[in-house]
Structure 1
Amino acid sequence: MSRFALHRLIPLLALWLLPTTLLAEDDRLIEAVQGFLYAEAQALGDEIMVEVHPPSARLPACEAPEPFLPRSGETVMGRVSVGVRCGEDGRQVRYLQAEIGVIGAYPVLATDIEAGTTLRAEHLETRNGNLAELPQRAILEADALVGKLATRPLRAGEALQEHQVRERPLVERNQRVTVEARGDAFRVSREGRALEPGAMGDEVRVRFGSRETLTAVVSGDATLSVDF
């Protein structure tokens, strides 16, 4: 090969090798993010599927990638954003988009129910599917549904969402209730009338006589407490 031909070939080889090198670097970055997301989502279901979208812009190589979640405590499911710190000092940060599917079990209604129905275990059955395809606020644990009240009519086969159920009131408006005042060395109870309904842990105003009122915390059926 002549010197002239070699001189022209070297730049062409460089252009050919450059995309290959960058592609390998992208692969390493994506593999690091995939591994991180798989570990984060592993406890959510029986099967995890992770697809990481490559960087949209050609960026410098990410040395020693350290993936992280921009929002602490975020549920790693569906479409998520992942941050990656690059370099030994981690000063370079870039962000990638990923899709995470989680195959697992979730409760659905086994029968139609009317508004105001208290959910029991026999109202529910288990179904398997991609949890990422459920509504954003779907309830994934049957135990979190049993004992709740349906806020609207619901149909069999539905995955239940947070706004479709509420805690069962333990105190009703105008109900006679017992209020316990508790301290380190005493406990005193007094009867009054609830001015509003409340579920476990709710604060409810209670009237004693014609004028005296106080706010107490629902602690049981027709029972509230005040701590001193």
Structure 2
Amino acid sequence: MLPFPRRAGALALALGSGLGLAAAPVMAQAQAAPADITQALQTQLETLGRTATPAMPPGAARVTLELGQIDPRLRLAACARIEPFIPPGLRMWGRTRMGLRCVKGDTAWRISVPITVRVYAPAVVYLRDLPFGATVQSGDVALATVDIAQGSRPALFDPAAVIGRELKQPVTAHERAAAAQLRPQVWFRAGQTVRIAAGGSGFRISTDGIALSEGRQGEMVRLKLASGRLVSARAVGPERAEVID
């Protein structure tokens, strides 16, 4: 699943690539961005937000933009055309900043404005408080529309990615679920038969083996083949492991 933040850079690039706006003049001691700039950016973000991640159904996400206050100490000359741009190294996600520059006026100027980008989409949330070490049950989580751009942890969009997992930290009701809160998924237990795959340039083989320890998602585990040989492989799915070169 491709989380939203992975696409935020592309969204920022699309927003900042030559979006020229005919704006009312920005006068000295302006307190906020002009309304027409706000509306134009809002439309751009909402359009881009609908395709921000292929993991979400079309139209599932709703993107809003809140522009903050322009520094009242600034003295800005009147401008007939203002162009927004994304400062290098910043992305249109959560609390960030964007730039505004005068491209048609007697005096060229450039300023930075704080903004908050909110991306509302159905994501997994906890329905009740759960302690450290608890195993998440089906009745503990549900999908709810939340701002997935809030905070630094990517959202989860499938309850199956959470149910049956053990918590590494306590969580509270209505909190958005995140992979960092959960211990790796247990794909198989010691003693279970596991399908082991291996491959290389132009070939791929598979065989069965017995797990000698618990197989957690992405972790290496020892397995015993029918011949008695021991191999190390990475747990990659339910009763599945893969030999890594």
Q: Per-residue displacement from partner, 1:22-67 (whole Å, max 9, x unpaired)?
A: 2598877663255225532563755736233224422445564332
- Unaligned ranges ≥5, structure 1: 1-19
* Percent of paired sites with the same residue: 17
Matched, 1:181 2:198: yes
Match of 2:40 in 1: 35
* Distance 1:46-1:218 versus aligned 2 partners, 3 A rule: same
Match of 2:242 in 1: 225
Match of 2:177 in 1: 160
**Aligned-partner residue type, residue 22 of structure 1:** M
**Secondary structure in 1 aligned to 2:216?**
coil
Matched-pair contact (CA < 8 Å) for 2:101–2:110: yes
Matched, 1:65 2:85: no
Matched, 1:191 2:191: no
The structure richer in helix per residue is 1
**Aligned-partner residue type, residue 191 of structure 1:** G
* Distance 1:185-1:94 versus aligned 2 partners, 3 A rule: same
Matched-pair contact (CA < 8 Å) for 1:40–1:76: no
TM-score (norm 1): 0.58
Match of 1:82 in 2: 98
Matched-pair contact (CA < 8 Å) for 2:128–2:172: yes
* Distance 1:188-1:27 versus aligned 2 partners, 3 A rule: closer
**Aligned-partner residue type, residue 165 of structure 2:** L
**Aligned-partner residue type, residue 209 of structure 2:** E
Distance 1:150 1:75 in 2: 33
Q: Per-residue displacement from partner, 1:151-209 (whole Å, max 9, x unpaired)?
A: 1454444333443224412145787644222353452425365567421xx15153669
* Distance 1:195-1:126 versus aligned 2 partners, 3 A rule: closer
Match of 2:113 in 1: 96
Distance 1:127 1:186 in 2: 42
Matched-pair contact (CA < 8 Å) for 2:83–2:102: yes
2:70 to 42, 54, 78: 54
* Distance 1:25-1:100 versus aligned 2 partners, 3 A rule: same
Distance 2:143 2:224 in 1: 47
**Aligned-partner residue type, residue 242 of structure 2:** S
Instruction: Number of aligned residue pairs: give it.
Output: 200
TM-score (norm 2): 0.55
Matched, 1:124 2:124: no
Greater gyration radius: 1
* Distance 1:54-1:157 versus aligned 2 partners, 3 A rule: closer
